[in-house]
Chains A and B, each alone.
Chain A
Amino acid sequence: MALLERTAAPAVQAPAKAAERASAGDILRTVIIAAALLMFFLPLVATAIFGFSLPGQGFTLDPLREALAGTTIGAQLLNTLNLAMLSTAGSLVLLVPTLLFLHLKAPGLLRFTEWLSVVPYVVPGIALVAGANLFFRAVAPGFMVSLYSLVPFYMVLTLPLVYRSLDAGIRALDLRTLWAASESLGAKPWQSIVHVVLPNLRGALLGASLLSCAMVLGEYAIAALLLHSTFPVFMVQVGMNEPRAAAALSFLTILATWLLLAVLARSGSGKTTAKGGSR
């Protein structure tokens, strides 16, 4: 803006006009961002107020404490965190080599696999569970009993997000050239992946992990249908009897998720700069 005013200075009326226009733009911008923030934070604040207060009593943790008394929230939370980590790790281990192979050796197939990766969006979770139920009950009845039978379902569920995030990351690299360069310097495929590809995919890996974790942390339908006790299932159960406790819990969950995202994003960018500086 300063530059704008300086260049306009010689003309007599121009500076005033430019300033006017700029200030009008400023006001509009402020209004838009204020409205957005209001719409974003109002429900959140309302949830918090509802969850952490009782009529005539002001701020209190009583509803939460009462609802949680006698439950196993710790176990369910741990279950969900385990599931998030396992599904994310599973997706990455499966998809990174697959996508690298496709980009290097079969780029013609990418269009097909991209289409394929969207299928989980199209097939409803219920259909997936119903089909899997029928199949596994007949073939391996014990499989669905284990909590970790959810991992493959979650991997399927997060596939569209993880695929897209990794694919974008790989496309941003000149993978073929980097790969050929690494290979010509004597690297075996795994060495190229570890020393060249993964360090340059850090952003995409982080993004894919965040999306996958966030999705698993909030997944309710499949877990409930398969009668597994995860944190979202627990929240819904609590909410049926104790709406205030459910509100308080969901507010805390949102806060926790934000913190997690912030920590992950921080550690990701922190590593890059530390490496850049020390070498």
Chain B
Amino acid sequence: MTRDSAEVVLSSISKSYAGKKVLDNLDLSMKPGELLALLGPSGCGKTTTLRVLAGMETPDAGSVHIGGADMTHAPVRGRGIGIVFQSYSLFPHMSAAQNVAYGLRLAGASKSRRGARAAELLEMVGLAEHAQKHPGQLSGGQQQRVALARALAIEPRVLLLDEPLSALDAQVRVHLREEIKRIQLQSGTTTLLVTHDQEEALTIGDRVGVMLGGQIEQLGTPEQLYCTPRTAFISEFVGAVNRISATATTGGVQVLGKLLKISNPQTAPASATGLEALVRPEDLVLRADAAGAGIVESAVLRGAHSSIMLDYQGRTLRVDLPTHEAAAFAPACRVSVSVRTGAVLIDSAKTAAPAAAPAPLHHPALGRIA
């Protein structure tokens, strides 16, 4: 399948609703053929960004360019976009095949061409045998596949996915997001995926943008976001982290008795005290040590990995390690803890967080299984 994938550029987009700024001077550009995932908590403006790009909202300021042409004020139907919505949006009175063929019917394609194209697309999403069923007879996952086929039928230059999986069961969601990635690669369409699920964004995005307060906090590959987050917010949003008290010294910061570099020199607080290092659970190393400062409290099996929860100087730390190694650390066993990496992200200490509360523990790869 060949399709002219368009480059998309949003520049200095601002949008307010009733005096509340939803998008604040936002810049975003997408390379032809890439899948860009916009990730963020609810209310961060990610859906508004998609709606501005789709033409369902007009920005107060800024411009939208698709394939080099200014589309800021173009109507939805003139933009060459396909959209898959969060809620089931299939036309209830049409069969799956008719839904897929709808856009071609509007474009005046012949009946035989429409039928052939609909069959081809339903085949691609694995629903060839359900072509004659109506949306009411299809499961949620099947409906979203049909919606994807329908959006691709008109050969859009840009594909917009507005939380397409959030209404589905966990298992279907995991399966379908891989399907989406495969189909997107196959069709080569520039794609914007909006999601609040960090796992979804990191697993299928070529690049991921994390949004907060109407702006993009950081835009990069999933590896960049997960391994070198620019701010504490991103670090905590895209995965689980432990907050460990740290002391600034010359040439870096002292964490768990080890001198480490600061990975975020621009955003790190300048003070020398009241600092915390953000370390991912898999970046901590445990060693059985009768004189160690940590006491194992419990072990949580998460599949291939297990999380050891331990009490370390009044704080709860989470350490992730392969399940077969976790057996060595029974509850009440004393351990010493060290950091595996050479650089850490530094943030000022959260005074509100009580010592006993663990850091937010949503690990991207394991959170669902747990």
- Please list the residues of chain A having a beta carbon within 8 angstroms of any beta carbon in chain B: 174, 177-178, 180-188, 191, 195-196, 199-200, 275-276, 279
Chain A contacts of B154 at CB under 8 A? 185-186
Chain B contacts of A181 at CB under 8 A? 83, 85, 89-91, 147, 150
Q: Contact: A177 with B102, CB < 8 Å?
A: no
Q: Contact: B56 with A186, CB < 8 Å?
A: no
Known contacts A195-B102, A279-B98; A183/B89 CB under 8 A: no
Chain A contacts of B87 at CB under 8 A? 174, 177
Q: Contact: B76 with A183, CB < 8 Å?
A: yes
Chain A contacts of B95 at CB under 8 A? 279
Chain B contacts of A186 at CB under 8 A? 77, 103, 106-107, 154
* A40 shortest CB reach to chain B, Å: 35
A116 to B248, CA, bound (A): 69
Residues 38-68 of B at the A interface (beta carbon under 8 Å): 54, 56
Chain A contacts of B102 at CB under 8 A? 182, 185, 195
Chain B contacts of A279 at CB under 8 A? 94-95, 98, 132, 134
A274 to B75, CA, bound (A): 36
Chain A contacts of B94 at CB under 8 A? 279
Chain B contacts of A187 at CB under 8 A? 77, 106
Known contacts A199-B93, A200-B92, A275-B93; A188/B77 CB under 8 A: yes
Q: Contact: B89 with A191, CB < 8 Å?
A: no
Which are the 6 A-B pairs with shortest beta-carbon distances? A185-B103, A181-B89, A199-B93, A177-B89, A183-B76, A186-B106
Chain A contacts of B107 at CB under 8 A? 186
Residues 201-242 of B at the A interface (beta carbon under 8 Å): none
* B57 shortest CB reach to chain A, Å: 11
Q: Which of B54, B82, B91 contacts A178 (CB 8 A)?
A: B91
Q: Contact: A180 with B134, CB < 8 Å?
A: no
Between A and B, 25 residue pairs with Cβ closer than 8 Å are A174-B89, A177-B89, A178-B89, A180-B54, A180-B76, A180-B89, A181-B85, A181-B90, A181-B147, A183-B75, A184-B77, A184-B82, A185-B82, A185-B102, A186-B106, A187-B77, A188-B77, A195-B106, A196-B91, A199-B91, A199-B93, A275-B93, A279-B95, A279-B98, A279-B132
Known contacts A200-B91, A275-B93; A183/B85 CB under 8 A: no
A276 to B137, CA, bound (A): 11
A275 to B81, CA, bound (A): 30
Chain B contacts of A196 at CB under 8 A? 91
| Residue tally, chain B, CB below 8 Å to A | 31
A279 to B131, CA, bound (A): 10
Chain A contacts of B83 at CB under 8 A? 180-181, 184
Q: Which of A174, A182, A184 contacts B54 (CB 8 A)?
A: A184
Known contacts A184-B83, A185-B154, A200-B91; A191/B106 CB under 8 A: yes
Q: Contact: B77 with A183, CB < 8 Å?
A: yes
* A278 shortest CB reach to chain B, Å: 10
Q: Contact: A184 with B93, CB < 8 Å?
A: no
A187 to B107, CA, bound (A): 9
Chain B contacts of A183 at CB under 8 A? 75-77
- Please list the residues of chain B having a beta carbon within 8 angstroms of any beta carbon in chain A: 54, 56, 75-77, 81-83, 85, 87-95, 98, 102-103, 105-107, 132, 134, 147, 150-151, 153-154
New A-B contacts (6) at CB < 8 Å, excluding given A174-B88, A182-B102, A184-B83: A180-B76, A182-B91, A184-B77, A184-B81, A187-B77, A279-B95
Chain A contacts of B75 at CB under 8 A? 183
Of listed A182, A199, A275, residue having the most chain B CB within 10 A: A182
Chain B contacts of A200 at CB under 8 A? 91-93
Chain B contacts of A199 at CB under 8 A? 91, 93
Q: Which of B76, B90, B132 contacts A184 (CB 8 A)?
A: B76
Chain B contacts of A178 at CB under 8 A? 89, 91
A160 to B144, CA, bound (A): 38
Chain A contacts of B54 at CB under 8 A? 180, 184
A39 to B335, CA, bound (A): 85
Q: Contact: B89 with A185, CB < 8 Å?
A: no
* B183 shortest CB reach to chain A, Å: 18
User: What is the chain B residue whose CB lies nearest that of A198?
Assistant: B93
A178 to B98, CA, bound (A): 15
A277 to B91, CA, bound (A): 16
A258 to B102, CA, bound (A): 39
Of listed A182, A185, A275, A279, residue having the most chain B CB within 10 A: A185
* B175 shortest CB reach to chain A, Å: 23
Q: Contact: A185 with B132, CB < 8 Å?
A: no
* B76 shortest CB reach to chain A, Å: 4
* A223 shortest CB reach to chain B, Å: 39
Q: Contact: A185 with B106, CB < 8 Å?
A: yes
User: What is the chain A residue whose CB lies nearest that of B76?
Assistant: A183
* A48 shortest CB reach to chain B, Å: 42
* A113 shortest CB reach to chain B, Å: 21
* A99 shortest CB reach to chain B, Å: 19
Q: Contact: B85 with A177, CB < 8 Å?
A: yes
